[in-house]
Amino acid sequence: MSEAAAIPSHVHVAFLPSSGMGHLLPFLRLAAALIRHRCSVTLITTHPIVSSAESQAISTFLSAFPQVTEKKFTLIPLDPTTADNNTTADPFFLQWETICRSAHLLSPLLSSSSPPLSFLVTDPTLMASVISVTKNLCLPNYILFTSSARMLSLFSFFPSIPPSIPKPSLPPPLLDSKSFFTRGFSENSKSIELFDGVLINSFEELEKQSLDMLLNKGLPPVFPLGPFLSLEFEGESCFAPLEWLENQRESSVLYVSFGSRTAMSEEQIRELGKGLVLSGYKFLWVVKSKVVDKKETGNDLAEILGHQVMNNNGFVVNQWVDQWRILSHKAVGGFMSHCGWNSVMEAAWNGVPVLGWPQHGDQMINGEVIEAAGWGLCVKTWGWGLNNHLVKGEEIGDKIKELMENQMVRIEAARISEAAKAGGSSENLTKLFQSLKKN
Ligand code: UDP
Ligand code: G50
């Protein structure tokens, strides 16, 4: 979204992201793009905030854009005994449920905005709870879908499953019709027709088939506005081993990260470390063994990994890194990823081939997008990170070699990056504003 789109004056947009960096970051990136197009922006922040990564991102965003109005939305504390075990086990799921249960209190916050709001952009996990509020206020409401168009096709037709999506690729909690996740997914999916449109961080060239399928299905219009670009301030005060990267050969390093909320078992971490060493490639590895961002100490790391990994070909970190900066570095030639959608889009923009190892949720479906477009591999035989299946280091090492030695994926990754940069997101933004005028 770099070129200026034709946008009417006095557009005031409010953003309501849900919890988790994978939800917050695309909201902040889209908000920044609209600010660049001279819109006024209100950011609704939900309190208490789950992780310090989220608090940090919100505060740096607000200092970078002092013209943004922050509306603090204090949530009604959720009595954990009224939520099921599945919800309370994951702090981010618990927060989704807490926001949903507080959503009826949003009304005064939205109606008191000045100048009056043109529309709200709502997180997909909050749709069913928020739509009645905006309908009462006659306020247009758009969804920012935080995953792939392929996942959106599953979401919007649920409980039907598009034939193009194999059952084993479904988010595992969807296999249990009574799970908290399935209930929310299903209610949110049903409410989609009440929305004015769906904004998505994707682009035609990457997901043409899924986007075409979503057209003419009686759904609200879908606006592919991606890839969303990282914001300058995101890298502030977070780590990137640039000096180390500068000393590596071009495309020689494998970057390894499983996103902001996937913790691996210590046993699996050890095998992964073994695999990285066995591959013989240089690696930059972000290790995470806790779901929320409590830092592991350096001692813990050495204890888990052993000194061979720590002192071998790699650079191991256990803190929040500037992923965009790493992926855009010329030394990085591969990305072992859980296929969280933001990571996938960041790899696409930067032309980095991906070795996908989906861990949960929508990640297998996102991995299939990469594989179909030919700029990476998605390993399905390793199973989901959630189960007890331990993937051995030898196998991991072999897959890494397969990716890093594959010239075809490298060529395709460069092609996808070019298509991403040439994409029509700015035209789609213009279409969005034209659709607003008709409301
Ligand atoms: N991220 C980052 N540094 C980290 C970990 C994650 O900048 O150390 C960013 C990453 O670039 C992406 C987001 O956090 O934009 C994670 O979202 P994604 O959808 O990839 O996965 P999730 O964390 O939601 O599983
Ligand atoms: C997070 C997650 C799992 C997961 C997804 C996440 C999505 C987004 C779609 O964002 O696929 C979505 C999920 C739930 C819902 C509505 C929409 O109620 O951990 O699959």
**In the annotation, is 104 catalytic?**
no
Paired strand residues for 344: none
The alpha carbon of 362 and the centre of ligand 2 are apart by a number of angstroms equal to 7
DSSP class of 318: -
Residues 200-235 have pLDDT tens digits of: 999 999 999 999 999 878 899 999 999 999 988 888
Q: Of all protein residues, whose CA lies closest to atom 8 belonging to ligand 1?
A: 320
The set of protein residues with a Cβ atom below 6 angstroms from ligand 2 is 124-125, 146-147, 151, 155, 171, 184-185, 188, 361-362
pTM over 0.90, yes/no: yes
The three-point CA angle 243-247-248 to 5° equals 120
The alpha carbon of 146 and the centre of ligand 2 are apart by a number of angstroms equal to 8
The alpha carbon of 150 and the centre of ligand 2 are apart by a number of angstroms equal to 13
The series of mean pLDDT values per 10 residues for the chain, 439 residues long, is 58 97 97 94 97 93 97 91 70 93 97 96 98 98 98 96 95 91 96 97 96 88 95 83 94 96 87 94 87 53 68 84 96 98 98 97 97 96 83 97 98 97 86 77
pLDDT of amino acid 294? 47
Helix (H, G, I), strand (E, B) or coil at 76: coil
Report the candidate in 416, 371, 409, 421 with the shortest Cα–Cα distance to residue 226.
421
Question: Could you say which of 12, 47, 84, 123 is catalytic?
Answer: 123
Helix (H, G, I), strand (E, B) or coil at 330: coil
Contact of 43 with 31, CB cutoff 8 Å? yes
pLDDT of amino acid 341? 98
**In the annotation, is 360 catalytic?**
no
- Ligand number with the minimum distance to the CA of 365: 2
ipTM of the complex: 0.98
Q: Going by C-beta distance under 8 Å and a sequence separation of 6 or more, which residues neighbour residue 428?
A: 223, 224, 225
Residues 45-82 have pLDDT tens digits of: 999 999 999 999 999 999 999 999 999 999 999 877 77
The alpha carbon of 17 and the centre of ligand 2 are apart by a number of angstroms equal to 13
The set of protein residues with a Cβ atom below 6 angstroms from ligand 1 is 20-22, 25, 257, 259-262, 286, 320-321, 323-324, 340-343, 346
Cβ neighbours of 51 (radius 10 Å): 22
Residue 227 preceded by cis peptide, ω within 30:
yes
Report the candidate in 25, 90, 12 with the shortest Cα–Cα distance to residue 60.
25
Question: Could you say which of 10, 12, 23, 307 is catalytic?
Answer: 23
Report the distance separating Cα 384 and Cα 301, nearest Å.
23
- Ligand number with the minimum distance to the CA of 349: 1
